[in-house]
Structure 1
Amino acid sequence: MVSILSCIVIGLASQQARIARAQDVITSDDYFYGQSPPVYPSPNGTGLGNWADAYIKARNFVSQLTLEEKVNLTGGVSETSTSCSGSIAAIPRLNFPGMCLSDAGNGVRSTDFVSGWPSGLSVGASWNRDLAHARAAGMTSEFRRKGVNIALGPVVGPLGRVAMGGRNWEVGFSNDPYLCGALAYETVVGMQSTGVTASVKHYIANEQETNRNPEASVGAVSSNVDDKTMHELYLWPFQDAILAGAGNIMCSYNRLNNSHGCANSKSLNGILKTELGFQGFVVSDWGAQHAGVATAQAGLDMVMPRGSAFWGNNLTLAVKNGSLSETRVDDMTTRRIIAMWYQFGQDDAFPEPGVGMPSELSSPHEVVIGTNSSYKRVLFDGAVEGHVLLKNKDNALPLKTPRIVSLFGYSAKAPDRYTTDENIGNEALAPEDISIMETKSNIISQYASNGTIISGGGSGANQFPYMSSPFEALSQRAYEDGSFLYWDFHSSNPTVNAQSDACIVDGNVYATEGQDRPGLHDDFTDGLILNVASVCANTIVVFQNAGVRLVDQFIDHPNVTALIFGHVPGQDSGRALISILYGDSNPSGKLPYSVPKNESDYAGLDTPDQPEGIFVKFPQSNFSEGVYIDYRALDAKNITPRYEFGFGLSYTTFSFSDIKTTLSNSSTAAYPTQPIAVGGQKDLWDILATVTATVTNIGEITGAEVAQLYVGIPGGPARQLRGFEKATIQPGASVTVSFSLTRRDLSTWDVVAQKWLLQRGTYEIHVGSSSRNLPLTTTLQL
């Protein structure tokens, strides 16, 4: 019999061999990959930038606390009067009311009288910075009214490496780090403008739900990422969020290079708190702490949800017996947790924590209205701009007062009921979470057969005030136009009225936290589409999709005239869809990911990694593709997607012309030289070049175009997004769009110098309407 020790030795040797092979593929970087180097001690916050006053106030506050009171600030408490996801206890003698932390993905969770906002994926499809900012401000205005100090979002990890990822709908907007980071920046600024703190999550490389948490026989999956890939891909949007002033970072469930995310001293102490100058505090994901003193030393500042077996009295004891310095506890509280409270003005006229978060919605309770009518237009515009028109054969859309419209598909109607599901949480869930779970054994369908979805499932979903379904909105339009409407929500091969002017088939793509998707298409919905198209010459396909959806089984059918990806648009879903179908709104959304032709185009990145062989107890996920995910990978392998990243049609047409580049007077030294500020070295954000181009609406109606800038950095991917501008343009008019390129935008990460390197050479510059439609090309010489 082989001994356990021998198995471990063999396993480690095999692991090192796999890591070595992966390194040969991606980089010569041996700084770390599969192992996480130690970085100690945890650096103290210093009050960089505009945090200085908050730190002064926090030091004065914490100087009055006992050790036990300090420790109490670092861990959640059991709290039964509110439905806050987590709570920090009050300190009445110092008039500290405590804190409420609450989920967050598309609105305040576990309460009433709040809105169901467009989810992160819809925001990404809008490619609209202003809309991202307005959505964030509107959403957190509701959090504030409900007494939530910290909104547990936005999500910028997962980035979308795994196409079947269960939380890709909730995420930071896009598979591309630049687009994700730009919208995360606006989201953080918008959220915190209301005094509510943004909790940017899940830090870091949390790219699959499968084995994200340790179980009885299987540990948490280890995301093994080299240093270059970490900085150029997965860290990028977190860095933008920190630059925006984010007050909180949530560490993730997965392991990073075989160290748990909430105990990884390299990522927390070394990167987050040192390299990026982060001044706020780090909170664990719920139940993601797996050690005591070690996590404190590694940079964790607060543990959630409650009653940590590792901290509490044990943390007090650790200080008293010398295992942990009180200076570290002071940094958790003085320099980080309480400083955050002051930084966002939560000491001044902020609502009582959890005041609008009753623990039992079914019982009589005092109602606190969270909804803000001034943001109704933002809710609607967010839903509209998150729709992407992908096919429009012979101008099938917009519809023009059709006589007969036929509507098919399970996703056209509202779900039948609210319910609860123990796999997601014992609470009244939004209708989109109904009837998705086929059993109570964590097996999910690829689609929600019970009705339309306006978000995915899990902690990102909330209980919205109403739902506008496609059927209800279409019924209203038929009434106004005097059209005749047929419908069938259940049949796989419905009877189709041959005189229909248009046949709309509405399906969906469901995804939920805790489980990755079982596939990227389903035969039932594809068969339904083909059955309708075999009879109806004008078949319009719509998906409410919580992730990428393959379409090649039906897209080339001659009677499939139009395709729309509606994503997960929130409570105004139906109204937004009908507005687009009938031309009241001109579609302007663009894909925030690529749509390949089949699963094999993903080269293994469609499915989550599973434990195998000797690693069944220590599952490894080697990110051996490096930075080559999504369009970068397709470009590198010369694979033509069905619809490329950044693609989306309009009811009008645009042209591009007159590209120009201008170099600034900023230093072009190889490495940044200025000191660390919040977000990294200050001169990373120096503008080194500006690119301008002209966009003209050559069509007949007003529309919005997203002009996109891609850069070919020497030695890197052929094209990387480095700018975008969305402009609404009248027919016949032109606008000049301008893109500012910073030092970071034009740099690569040097793993030896541990700095961003600005290379000498020729940079290819491309401008156009998608990653593969780039009519304007020039060069930039550095």
Structure 2
Amino acid sequence: MISAKQLGLAAAFLSLCGLSHAKSNITSDTHFYGQSEPVYPSPHGTGSGDWAQAYHKAAAMVSKMTLEEKNNLTYGVPTTENGCSGIIQPVPRLGFTGMCLQDAGNGVRTTDFVNSYPSGIHIGASWNKSLAHDRGWYMGGEFKKKGVQVALGPVVGPLGRTTTGGRNWEGPSNDPYLGGAIAAATVKGFQGQGVITSVKHFIANEQELYRNPSVNSKNQTVESLSSNVDDKTMHELYLWPFQDALKAGTGNIMCSYNRVNNSHGCQNSKTLNGLLKTELGFNGFVVTDWDAQHSGVASALAGLDMAMPDGLSFWGNNFTEAITNGSVPESRLDDMATRIIAAWYKMGQDDSSYPKPGIGMPYNISEPHKIVNALDRDAKPTLYDGAVEGHVLVKNTNNALPLQSPKLISVFGYDAKAPDQYMPNGQTFLDNPWELGYEPAVFQLDEAFSTSVINEPYDFQVAFNGTLSVGGGSGANTGPYLSAPLDALQQRAYEDNTVVMWDTGNTPGLNGLMEASDACLVFINAFATEGLDRAGTYDDYSDALVNKVAKTCTNTIVVIHNAGTRLVDKFVDNENVTAIVFAHLPGQDSGRALVSLLYGDENFSGKLPYTVAKNESDYKNYYHTGAVTPYGLFPQSDFDEGVLTDYRYFDAHDITPRYEFGFGLSYTTFSFSGLEVSSVKHGIEKYPCGAIEQGGAIDLWDTVATVTATVKNTGRKAGAEVAQIYIGIPGGPMKQLRGFEKVMIPAGRSTKVSFPLTRRDLSTWDVVAQKWLLQSGSYKLYVGSSSRDLPLTKTMKVVTGSSS
């Protein structure tokens, strides 16, 4: 039953085309800003669309459960039987096997015999939806073999609002369209294997500082940060990629640590009941981030369905009592249980062949345990291609790359070799980031430090002990091997009968080696981890190392394994720095992939999924924020830039970036021509009016126009280009990404790319009508190879019908 309050907020989604629609009493966005709108009651899942059969089965099972059995589905229990991050108890008499929930979005964590895949930021830099799907498919297969029912990923929040955010590397991009497209493909791949994806962190979770409540020196509780976001920005930016993942069918959403407009993310009725379950028709279940539950009755009524990892403090027996005394209606518990069981059915986890929960998840991989080999030989091409395609070449002076039959290569820098002690993040079952096998350049430990909240900035930027293939924290995992760059270069020297020499100490001084080398490769990195925001976007030590080598070596090539945006202006204009590669976080095939690119066996095709500035001051939200007021107990972060993040901000303020969003070089060249708008639907209603299924009103996804263009490979080497379309929507930012296609083109050949534009792609959020508004007017189209290299432009006219 939908309440009058929900009807007022979401009436637009319940109206019929051509009929008068009810409007809320909202007249401006300030109604939402800083104060979360209450939306009750929590709507029951409808089983809409392809969820119908799963809901029918789930309702039948739940109807046979006792109150205690239904209650037991809603919270995790501590266990030492396996290494799952969270466990839901089985109901053996009804055939429900229970659930293992396990990290994370880049591969199975804290276990062996699994692969270490390219991280989210790396696959985002590939701009390849097909590759994202295949990566999800093979990861999903590994989770399944390990007896995992819910994989805790992919990540689309944080969305990179804070340039130095510690978890930006876990997600694909700072842009909601690119991030959403990659996430949707990942969800489809994962869930094609029968594993439920937990898309996270919902919502506006943009920094690690103050992410959880803490206790200060006066024994006072300092609340988690409140992300204060207006309604328009919420829809057009932060909700966008989640909506894509919902449309793709995700069975789970993880709510976040932060507060949203001063209400905790996991008991926020506006975001959970209103946005997620009413407006977007979510049929699956909501789970907390670990220990993100802060109430019992309130969180249940606000739309939370499952508490992790241990829900005994707020729910457990307390929740049973809340049901029996009427504080929470049993219908709410029935809906929670139905949503959970429906997701289990929808993925086919009731099949007797699905592995037992957590069967391959040892509690501690350093102890004897049963080996469950989840490695799949068929995944090898995807692992390798994923590693290759996430590398972005941003500078290549005088064709320094590819290397032309070098006789002697010298290698410098701490990031070139394999880690000294552990596999990358091989100690992921340890809590502290400095125990993950990475030694920071400078680490100032404050007595207030805990693994869940950091109250002071820390200079934790460089992984000195070896090459960076994955970031730190719950998104990390350990592969069966690591191909480090230096190892792969030595193998190449063996094959070519050439010489590679190296000095990976912290103070290289072999000037003679530098002078004699055909090329000097300098490897540096930029580390990031959950629980800590980065101290900056460069470090003086690494920049000085590059310039020291370049002072002597006239062909210095810099490779940066960066877990987030990294500035290069301390060395980019050095005439002896001939090439720069953003190598991101490639996973276990790091070295093999890089060497194939450096020698030209493979062609660079990656593009930046973020903007690289010339100066830190060019970013609106460079560092984490949190005005702590009043009394120093309630940190606040006002998202007053609205939708103007990343390239939108640079465009709006006419700031020239060092390397723009979407930029990346190749060993060949491309041209664009023949921009055409092949079809535009005229007379379409201004507002969507279709039925609500998971992902929102179904007609939001209708194609309104189709744009085509021709891309030609004008060089002498086959290569892949990412054709990008940006739209100037009336009244919005100068331009916004609204489509991309990655196409492989032989030398001298051409191909046509097509961009279908949906109603949602061309709409803005109307805060009064509480609908996506498609305006009549002129829409500027831009097509090209990056957000600043858009040679094709055209104006498209849209004429809408009336919708009173």
With the length of structure 2 as denominator, give the TM-score of the two structures: 0.92
Q: How far, CA to CA, are the matches of 1:310 and 1:58 in structure 2?
A: 25
1:534 alignment partner, SS class: helix
Q: How far, CA to CA, are the matches of 1:544 and 1:421 in structure 2?
A: 15
Q: How far, CA to CA, are the matches of 2:680 and 2:181 in structure 1?
A: 22
Q: Which residue of 1 aligns with 2:185?
A: 186
Q: Which residue of 1 aligns with 2:602?
A: 585
Q: How far, CA to CA, are the matches of 2:108 and 2:251 in structure 1?
A: 19
User: Is the 8 Å Cα contact of residues 267 and 302 (structure 2) preserved in structure 1?
Assistant: yes
Q: How far, CA to CA, are the matches of 2:312 and 2:384 in structure 1?
A: 42
- What are the residue-to-residue correspondences of 1:222-233 with 2, within 5 Å? 222-233=226-237
Q: How far, CA to CA, are the matches of 2:46 and 2:259 in structure 1?
A: 29
- 1:659-717 CA deviation, whole Å, 9 max, x = no partner? 00023447521111212111101110110101100000010010000000000001111
Q: Which residue of 2 aligns with 1:715?
A: 731
Q: Which residue of 2 aligns with 1:330?
A: 334
Residue type at the aligned position of 2:162 = V
Q: Which residue of 1 aligns with 2:88?
A: 88
- 1:408-466 CA deviation, whole Å, 9 max, x = no partner? 00000011112899997527999974324846655452110111111100000012111
TM-aligned CA deviation for residue 216 of structure 1: 1.1
Q: How far, CA to CA, are the matches of 1:149 and 1:592 in structure 2?
A: 30
- 1:54-76 CA deviation, whole Å, 9 max, x = no partner? 11111111111110111000000
Q: Does 1:210 align with 2:209?
A: yes
Q: Does 1:775 align with 2:791?
A: yes
Structure 1 spans left out of the alignment, 5+ residues: 1-26
- What are the residue-to-residue correspondences of 1:437-456 with 2, within 5 Å? 438=443, 441=446, 443-456=458-471
Change (3 A) 1:609 1:428: closer
- What are the residue-to-residue correspondences of 1:581-730 with 2, within 5 Å? 581-603=598-620, 605-612=621-628, 614=630, 616-665=632-681, 668-730=684-746
Residue type at the aligned position of 1:321 = N
Residue type at the aligned position of 2:84 = C
Q: Which residue of 2 aligns with 1:765?
A: 781
Which segment is superposed worse, 526-535 or 427-436? 427-436
Residue type at the aligned position of 2:177 = Y
Q: Which residue of 2 aligns with 1:120?
A: 120
Q: Which residue of 2 aligns with 1:55?
A: 55
Q: Which residue of 1 aligns with 2:348?
A: 345
Q: Which residue of 2 aligns with 1:412?
A: 416
1:111 alignment partner, SS class: coil
User: Is the 8 Å Cα contact of residues 297 and 322 (structure 2) preserved in structure 1?
Assistant: yes
Q: Which residue of 1 aligns with 2:9?
A: none
Residue type at the aligned position of 2:33 = Y
Pairing partner for 1:386 from 370, 384, 390: 390
- 1:57-99 CA deviation, whole Å, 9 max, x = no partner? 1111111111011100000011111000000011122222211
Pairing partner for 1:467 from 471, 474, 482: 482
Residue type at the aligned position of 1:205 = A
User: Is the 8 Å Cα contact of residues 263 and 300 (structure 1) preserved in structure 2?
Assistant: yes
Q: Does 1:149 align with 2:164?
A: no
Pairing partner for 2:312 from 304, 308, 311: 308
Q: How far, CA to CA, are the matches of 2:600 and 2:642 in structure 1?
A: 42
User: Is the 8 Å Cα contact of residues 419 and 434 (structure 1) preserved in structure 2?
Assistant: no
- 1:2-44 CA deviation, whole Å, 9 max, x = no partner? xxxxxxxxxxxxxxxxxxxxxxxxx952230000010000000
Q: Which residue of 2 aligns with 1:398?
A: 402
Q: Which residue of 1 aligns with 2:73?
A: 73
- What are the residue-to-residue correspondences of 1:525-540 with 2, within 5 Å? 525-540=542-557
Q: How far, CA to CA, are the matches of 1:430 and 1:613 in structure 2?
A: 32
Change (3 A) 1:126 1:34: same
Residue type at the aligned position of 2:183 = A
Tell me how large the CA RMSD over aligned residues is. Answer: 1.7
Q: Which residue of 1 aligns with 2:526?
A: 509
Q: Does 1:283 align with 2:287?
A: yes
User: Is the 8 Å Cα contact of residues 419 and 431 (structure 1) preserved in structure 2?
Assistant: no
TM-aligned CA deviation for residue 375 of structure 1: 0.7
Taking only the aligned residue pairs, the percentage that are identical comes to: 61
Q: Which residue of 2 aligns with 1:21?
A: none
User: Is the 8 Å Cα contact of residues 45 and 283 (structure 2) preserved in structure 1?
Assistant: yes
1:511 alignment partner, SS class: coil
Residue type at the aligned position of 1:701 = K
Q: Which residue of 2 aligns with 1:19?
A: none
Q: Which residue of 2 aligns with 1:748?
A: 764
User: Is the 8 Å Cα contact of residues 157 and 205 (structure 2) preserved in structure 1?
Assistant: yes
User: Is the 8 Å Cα contact of residues 421 and 437 (structure 2) preserved in structure 1?
Assistant: no
Change (3 A) 1:416 1:86: same
Q: Which residue of 2 aligns with 1:354?
A: 358
User: Is the 8 Å Cα contact of residues 425 and 477 (structure 2) preserved in structure 1?
Assistant: no
Q: Which residue of 1 aligns with 2:4?
A: none
User: Is the 8 Å Cα contact of residues 364 and 429 (structure 2) preserved in structure 1?
Assistant: no
Q: Which residue of 2 aligns with 1:546?
A: 563
Q: How far, CA to CA, are the matches of 2:797 and 2:311 in structure 1?
A: 58
Q: How far, CA to CA, are the matches of 1:203 and 1:732 in structure 2?
A: 46
Q: Which residue of 2 aligns with 1:321?
A: 325
User: Is the 8 Å Cα contact of residues 418 and 484 (structure 2) preserved in structure 1?
Assistant: yes
Change (3 A) 1:573 1:419: closer
Residue type at the aligned position of 2:385 = D
User: Is the 8 Å Cα contact of residues 230 and 642 (structure 2) preserved in structure 1?
Assistant: yes
Which segment is superposed worse, 411-420 or 369-378? 411-420
Q: How far, CA to CA, are the matches of 1:736 and 1:90 in structure 2?
A: 53
Q: Does 1:524 align with 2:541?
A: yes
Q: How far, CA to CA, are the matches of 1:41 and 1:377 in structure 2?
A: 48
Q: How far, CA to CA, are the matches of 1:736 and 1:243 in structure 2?
A: 27
Residue type at the aligned position of 1:274 = T
User: Is the 8 Å Cα contact of residues 432 and 448 (structure 1) preserved in structure 2?
Assistant: no
Q: Which residue of 2 aligns with 1:270?
A: 274
Q: How far, CA to CA, are the matches of 1:403 and 1:665 in structure 2?
A: 61
Q: How far, CA to CA, are the matches of 2:743 and 2:44 in structure 1?
A: 44
TM-aligned CA deviation for residue 745 of structure 1: 0.2
User: Is the 8 Å Cα contact of residues 426 and 477 (structure 2) preserved in structure 1?
Assistant: no
Change (3 A) 1:685 1:613: closer
Structure 2 spans left out of the alignment, 5+ residues: 1-26, 217-221, 450-457, 799-804
Change (3 A) 1:612 1:641: same
Residue type at the aligned position of 1:343 = K
Residue type at the aligned position of 1:328 = R
Residue type at the aligned position of 1:30 = T
Q: Does 1:477 align with 2:492?
A: yes
With the length of structure 1 as denominator, give the TM-score of the two structures: 0.94
Q: How far, CA to CA, are the matches of 1:615 and 1:386 in structure 2?
A: 46
User: Is the 8 Å Cα contact of residues 672 and 683 (structure 1) preserved in structure 2?
Assistant: yes
TM-aligned CA deviation for residue 504 of structure 1: 0.4
Q: Which residue of 1 aligns with 2:10?
A: none
User: Is the 8 Å Cα contact of residues 212 and 254 (structure 1) preserved in structure 2?
Assistant: yes
- What are the residue-to-residue correspondences of 1:98-109 with 2, within 5 Å? 98-109=98-109
User: Is the 8 Å Cα contact of residues 122 and 585 (structure 2) preserved in structure 1?
Assistant: yes
- 1:522-561 CA deviation, whole Å, 9 max, x = no partner? 0001001001111011000000000000000100000000
Q: Does 1:174 align with 2:176?
A: no
